[in-house]
Amino acid sequence: MSETHKAGRSAGVRERAPTAPVVVAGAAAALFALPLAGLLWKAPWSKAWPALTSEEAGQALRLSLVTSVSATALALALGVPLAWVQARVEYRGRSLVRALTTLPMVLPPVVGGTALLLALGRRGLVGPQLDRVGVHLPFSTAGAVLAEAFVAMPFLVLTVEAGLRTSDRGLEEAARTLGAGRWAVFRSVTLPLVRPSLLAGGVLCWARALGEFGATITFAGNLQGKTQTLPLFVYVKLESSDPGSAIVLSLVLLAVSLAVLASLRDRWLRAL
Amino acid sequence: MTRAGRPRARGAALALTAALVVGACGSGGAASGDRSRSALSGSVTVFAAASLTEAFNQEKATLAARAPALSLTYSFAGSQTLAQQIIQGARADVFASADDKTMQRLVDAKLVEAPRAFARNQLEIAVAPGNPKHVGGLSDLVRPDLVVVLEDPSVPAGSYSQQALARAGARVRPRSLELDVKSALAKVTSGEADAAIVYASDVQAAGSKASGVTIPTAQNVVATYPIAVVRTGANHAGAAAFVQEVLSGSGQAALEAHGFLPAS
């Protein structure tokens, strides 16, 4: 009985396959697929290996890995407590804080970089104080990490906050009534509960950090081996007389991001 | 369109030049002025090297007074960025480059008509107002207490800077290689860098926010700026009129007022 019902339903779905949304969906998918096809079409495959193994490209790739992983670590250290407070603590101004933490997602990254410069630069709001204790962020790798974290952390905070909101608070309360301390509850109940969204948020944050361009070049500058991450290197190369190597490197960046996002899709949807 | 359009374009440009000359002489010249007004309309998109920003904005005001129906749009960026955009099919009517090399890429690709030199520029060291770090010349830029910013060698200013530093025998370790000359200047005006090698015109454009340290002629590099009508542009008449305006007396005066040297 239930099987015939199921079969009937799926057959019904197939029958009603609506044309209009499918056509629009196809166009939407093409919007994403076409640029990718353009890159694949123009990529000089014969020059791919030398382009990928050049010293400059290697340096940019290594630097990108170091900075994006560091930015994700920084985002986890700062972002998880922030997400917890936003999800679990009622306070005045909570929506303002949420808007603030979402801001980097809509702010043009170049503006973000300028804002960082105005705050942490040599003449910035707190820059002189940082200078006095020997912290120089502009033109440094640490500056590149900070710029990436600034732009990418919202992805982590929003995902983890959503996970915390939808997680079962009954389990936490039960643990508390059984005598577990707050930290123990957080570590052995809350964190395992939001693990999928933690993972999803972390990976999204990392992917965004890996692709970061505007805030990095504005705040940290462009110096090979120090602040020239892969997106910056690709941009410089694209404008040179040999844009082929840049296209190959863009494809590497795309392949990495695509692989990460494809493996993540289900988890992310569940977390949200 | 282009075949039929070109003679008309020359005519229009001539009419405009005539109007400019008559206008400059101080007499009314209403008839010829009206003719150029009716001939020049539509929009003209000018892709120009970042260093031309202030001078070309002044040209815009001049041209707006003489051809009010013409709407002028600028895109300022590093010359290499703009050249790449035109190669990729960006809609530009005029291209003004900060070096011959970048312009030659478009000449080779048959994307522009014969370029004409319209200005020259020299390098200068931009420092904080009043030169608090006492930068005396290119050889000072190796000092470890200075934060020095240059442009990437793919940018004309960056390649000129490299030549000048080589002539001075100075091995500078820049903190960043910016992607256009205005970004390098901005690092100095914001106080983030102590010195940057930019064009003399950029130092002048910065006004009170930066001082310039001149580079002796023996070490300096003279950049020649070529301008050309883009073949793929939609408004050939307007493009030719803009080029004429830049080469005219008032155009040259605007460039000189902004720190450029005359083309010849």
Residue-wise pLDDT for A204-234, tens only, equals 999 999 999 999 999 999 999 999 999 999 9
User: How far separated are the first and last CA of chain A, in Å rounded?
Assistant: 34
Question: CA of A223: which chain B residue's CA is closest?
Answer: B176
State CA A234 to chain mean position distance.
Answer: 19
pLDDT-derived band at A167 (thresholds 50, 70, 90) equals confident
* Residues 92-121, chain B, touching A (beta carbon < 8 A): 105
Angle between helices A141-166 and A109-120 (to 10 degrees): 110
ipTM of the complex: 0.77
Model confidence at A255: pLDDT above 90: no
More confident residue, B4 or A65: A65
Model confidence at A266: pLDDT above 80: no
State pLDDT tens for residues A88-113.
999 999 999 999 999 999 999 999 99
Please state which architecture CATH assigns to domain A50-271.
Orthogonal Bundle (1.10)
Model confidence at A261: pLDDT above 80: no
Angle between helices A244-271 and A141-166 (to 10 degrees): 30
**Which of A236, A239, A242 should we substitute to test contact with B (largest number of B Cβ atoms within 10 Å)?**
A239
**Are A139 and B175 an interchain contact pair (Cβ–Cβ within 8 Å)?**
yes
Chain B environment of A143 (Cβ under 8 Å): none
Rounded to two decimals, the pTM is: 0.78
How far apart CA B176 and CA A136 sit, in angstroms, is 14
How far apart CA A234 and CA A256 sit, in angstroms, is 15
- Rg of chain A over Cα atoms, rounded to whole angstroms, equals 23
Among A121, A227, A235, the residue with its CB nearest the CB of B192 is: A121
Chain A environment of B190 (Cβ under 8 Å): 117, 121, 123
The 3-class SS string of A10-48 reads HHHHHHCCCHHHHHHHHHHHHHHHHHHHHHHHHCCHHHH
More confident residue, B68 or A6: B68
How far apart CA B184 and CA B151 sit, in angstroms, is 7
Would you list which residues of chain A are within 8 Å, Cβ to Cβ, of chain B? 117, 121-123, 138-139, 217, 220-224, 227, 235-236, 238-241, 243
Chain B environment of A222 (Cβ under 8 Å): 152, 176-179
**Are A117 and B177 an interchain contact pair (Cβ–Cβ within 8 Å)?**
no
CATH of domain B121-222: 3.40.190.10
Question: Residue B199's beta-bridge partner residues?
Answer: B123
Contact in structure between A21 and A28 (CB atoms under 8 Å): no
**Which of B47, B150, B187, B192 should we substitute to test contact with A (largest number of A Cβ atoms within 10 Å)?**
B192
Give the CA angle between residues A143, A144, A145 to the nearest 5°. 90
Closest alpha carbon to B203 in B263, B260, B138, B142? B260
More confident residue, A75 or B35: A75
Bridge-based pairing state of the strands B222-229 and B116-127: antiparallel
**Are A221 and B177 an interchain contact pair (Cβ–Cβ within 8 Å)?**
yes
Q: Does the CB of B209 have a partner CB in chain A at under 8 Å? A: no
Among A117, A235, A236, the residue with its CB nearest the CB of B190 is: A117
The b/e string for A131-148 (b: 16+ C-beta within 10 A; e otherwise) is beeeebbbbbbbbbbbbb
Domain ranges of chain A: 50-271
For each successive 10 residues of chain B (264 residues), what is the average pLDDT? 45 49 40 47 92 91 86 91 90 94 94 96 96 96 96 91 96 94 93 95 93 95 95 93 92 92 86
B2-120+224-257 falls under which CATH superfamily?
Answer: Periplasmic binding protein-like II (3.40.190.10)
Say whether B1 sits in a helix, a strand or coil.
coil
How far apart CA A186 and CA A84 sit, in angstroms, is 10
Q: List every span in chain B annotated with CATH 3.40.190.10.
A: 2-120+224-257, 121-222
pLDDT-derived band at A267 (thresholds 50, 70, 90) equals low
